[in-house]
Structure 1
Amino acid sequence: MKRFAQLGLAAVLALGPFTGSAFAQQAQANAPTVQAQAKDVESIDGIVAALYDVISGPAGKERDWNRMRSLFAADGTLRAVVPKDGAFVIRTMSVDDYITRNSPHFASNGFFESEVARTTEVFGQVAQVFSTYQSKHASSDAQPFARGINSIQLYNDGKRWHIVSVLWRGEDANLKLPERYLKKQ
């Protein structure tokens, strides 16, 4: 057993230069294609606020889609949990898929999404944000038309935060937001 462990370590050490090169190439591939504003990506607070800001606006207001692209890793995704045929499925979109899918709706409908509460866990360069949201047609609406949770996964490359994935689930008649996700932390 000890000999196997030594061989395993030797094999890992032998792959070191190759692995480092592969990781460097992968990191380069994951780099965003649009330059981000420093204030948007220097903190978790900044990137989450920028995400909500960039998708919100009155009907007909052109969103700053390059700003949105700059928040995500190049291979970042957005996923929605949606009902289908009595079950639930995940609709997966790239950032550009999201833009294509939502631009026509935003052209004729106001959409303002804001954070109500947040739970954040961080381990080194990895962060998980459970962000409770509310959606309104106008920022002045008294009540939201939708609420739910955005589960946002982020990583920090040593220079800035990147959104790797946003997975969301809206509240419905059968699933109400628990109190713990409605309190500011």
Structure 2
Amino acid sequence: MWDKKKYPLKKDVTIDGIISASYEVVSGEAGEVRAWERDFQEEIIGRLLQVAMPLKDFHKETDTLVSKTAFYESEINKEVRVFGNIVHVWSTYETRLVKNGPVVRRGINSIQLYYSADRWWIASWTFDKERSDRKIPQTFDRN
């Protein structure tokens, strides 16, 4: 399924590292092959995205999109809450279709992680995009 010798990258198993890796994996130029095997190392194998699709289907859908257009998603704010071996991360993002181009979408990711085997793992990931009737609250916007 993935190269266990190459992944996980040491930098991808901390809270900040795993969130950064998730944005890096999905971002790139049109037609650029994404390193989905890196994504599998961050998540519980077989877990479902909250948008009701398996992670593999999300990768396939994204591959179809990025074969035609560039896609860059970056984090603009993060709030992390830790209790023992569990973490909740609120990660506000911006999406661009041209690197350093205009923002075409913004939203918030709600990410739950747990600590096991000397590293952090993504347990679930839910997101919602900003709309005209649902603006990102100031507390989640850029700091």
Q: TM-score, normalised by structure 2?
A: 0.92
User: What is the CA-CA distance between 1:33 and the residue it aligns to?
Assistant: 9.1
Matching residue of 1:29: none
Offset at residue 95 of structure 1 (A): 1.3
Conservation of the 8 A alpha-carbon contact between 2:49 and 2:124: yes
| Residue-pair matches, total | 140
Paired residue for 1:67?
A: 38
Structure 2: distance between partners of 1:33 and 1:173? 43
CA contact (8 A) 1:76 1:163 kept: no
Look up the match of 2:68.
108
Q: Percent identity?
A: 34
Cα deviations by residue, 1:143-171 (Å, 9 ceiling, x for unpaired): 31000100011011041111111100000
| Alignment match of 2:8 (pick from 13, 18, 36) | 36
Partners of 1:127 and 1:77 lie apart in 2 by 18
Q: Deviations over 1:23-73 (max 9, x none)?
A: xxxxxxxxx9954111111x1100000000000001010000101111111
2:134 corresponds to: 175
1:51 and 2:14 correspond: no
Alignment partner of 1:140 is 2:100: yes
Aligned with residue 125 of structure 1, among 71, 80, 85? 85
Cα 1:71–1:33, aligned 2, differ >3 Å: closer, same or farther? farther
User: Which amino acid in the other structure matches residue 8 of structure 2?
Assistant: A
Question: Which has the larger share of helix?
Answer: 1
For 1:100, what is the secondary structure of its paired residue? helix
Unpaired runs of 5+ residues, structure 2, are none
Partner SS state of residue 62, structure 2: helix
Per the TM alignment, residue 76 of structure 1 is displaced from its structure 2 partner at its CA by: 2.6
The 2-side partners of 1:175 and 1:123 are apart by: 29
Q: Does 1:160 align with 2:119?
A: yes
Q: Structure 1 33/174 Cα, relative in aligned 2: closer, same or farther at 3 Å?
A: farther
More displaced 10-residue stretch of structure 1: 121-130 or 32-41: 32-41
- Quote the Cα distance in structure 1 between the aligned partners of 2:63 and 2:126: 19
Instruction: Look at both structures and tell me which one has the larger radius of gyration over its CA atoms.
Output: 1
- Answer yes or no: is 1:92 the counterpart of 2:52: yes
Q: Distance in 2 between matches of 1:70 and 1:146?
A: 27
Q: Distance in 1 between matches of 2:3 and 2:33?
A: 20
In the other structure, the counterpart of 2:48 is: 77
